[in-house]
Amino acid sequence: MWVWLLRLYRLLHLYRLARRVGGRVRRAAARLRRYGPSVLLAALAAGLAYAAAVRLFGSEEAFFAPIAAVVCAGIAAGQRIRRALELAVGVAVGLTAADILVHVIGVIGAGAVQLAVAVGLAMGTAVLLGTSSVLVNQSAVAAVLVVALAPQGGNPLFRMGDALIGGAVALALGALAAPDPRRAVRRAGGEVLAHLAMVLRGLSEALEHSDPARAERMMAESARVEARVGELDKALAVARESARLGRRRRSAQARLPVVLVRERLDMMAATARALARGTAVAVRYGQPVDQRLVTALDSLAVAVTELRRRVEGEGTQAREGARAAALRAAETASQLLAEDRPLTASVLVGQVRAAAVDILRATGLDQPHAVRLLTDAAGPPDRRPPGP
């Protein structure tokens, strides 16, 4: 008997281990699919920058072009062109400062002092130029590479040109051959809304089953929405850069649903956190839960899911579905306002109504129109229970 129990325990342990490993493998594969185009872009930029620098300055001087290309390609593919330019200029400042030090002063202090002086000179020059911390730090890294690794005896101007070639190649490839920014925007927006819908469904289940543990987990998940919003902001920044560079100039119109959603995401995330706190309080203290609140949260999850379809390009049908589900959620929850309910239930009703307005705004309605639709469907927010 004990032997069989031990075997069963081992099988369960192996099953859980296999699930954990499988989950990590899937997440790793998803990361590779997501960042694979940027990796290929950086590799291509390094090869082209090296080839261009060899042709202009010779193989012995083509040391920093691929380095600058890889660094700038990584920044240009995921952040701002300004930062990529700062990195390229920072490399050039560091190279020039260190090379001048080596050629004018020579080797002093058995290498360590020379390196320290080179880093100080490069960073001081960058600070005098009034640049950002990115450029200052990059100039220091370039100075270290010159003193510690780069072959000596070359022309400082050649190395500065080397670095600028690498940065220019990376920026050119980023403008011409980077992945379609609209796809990244839609994916990031869809991920935010999918996470938000998951939180709302989890809160509905926690209320329905009076499950404090699930409510606490949803509180933690609601706090993670902001991190996903940050990824959406990065994707939007890249898309705006592409539009400014003349690439896919009609992308602004294609991103319009995402832009509308982004304008309300901070409010939607705050409302989700408030709903999570209210749900946790209700189930923690065993307060009676009306099924209409559960249904309202389910309807909010449906509305957010429809909003996700709208962001991902489903069109007008998804927009109307989001509006209808949001109004249905507010109408169902607001029925509790005419009854004598605990304070926590009233707070949850208010948050459901606020979430419905946010969703309506995210579909393109202005504030007065959204409030008018909400009032027509769910009544005013100050309804009181009938007297005795």
Has residue 299 got a pLDDT over 80? yes
Q: What is the pLDDT of residue 284?
A: 86
The 10s digit of each residue's pLDDT in 210-269 is 999 999 999 999 988 888 888 888 778 777 766 665 544 444 444 468 888 888 999 999
More confident residue, 385 or 198: 198
When pLDDT is cut at 50, 70 and 90, the band that residue 327 belongs to is very high
What's the CA gap between 84 and 167, in Å, rounded?
A: 7
Instruction: Quickly state the pLDDT bin for 108 (edges 50, 70, 90).
Output: very low
302 pLDDT higher than 70:
yes
Which residue ranges make up each domain of the chain?
37-177, 181-378
Q: Which of 36-40, 139-143, 255-259, 338-342: highest mean pLDDT?
A: 36-40
AA identity, residue 190: G
Q: Please tell me the pTM assigned to this model.
A: 0.67
- For the chain, the first-to-last Cα distance in angstroms comes to 66
Per the prediction, the chain carries an average pLDDT of: 78
Which pLDDT tens digit goes with each residue over 369-384? 999 999 999 888 765 5
How far from 42 is each of 38, 55, 245, CA to CA, in Å?
Answer: 6, 20, 19
CATH topology of domain 181-378: Methane Monooxygenase Hydroxylase; Chain G, domain 1 (1.20.58)
Identify whether the C-beta of residue 239 lies closer than 8 Å to the C-beta of residue 187. Answer: no
Higher pLDDT, 242 or 365: 365
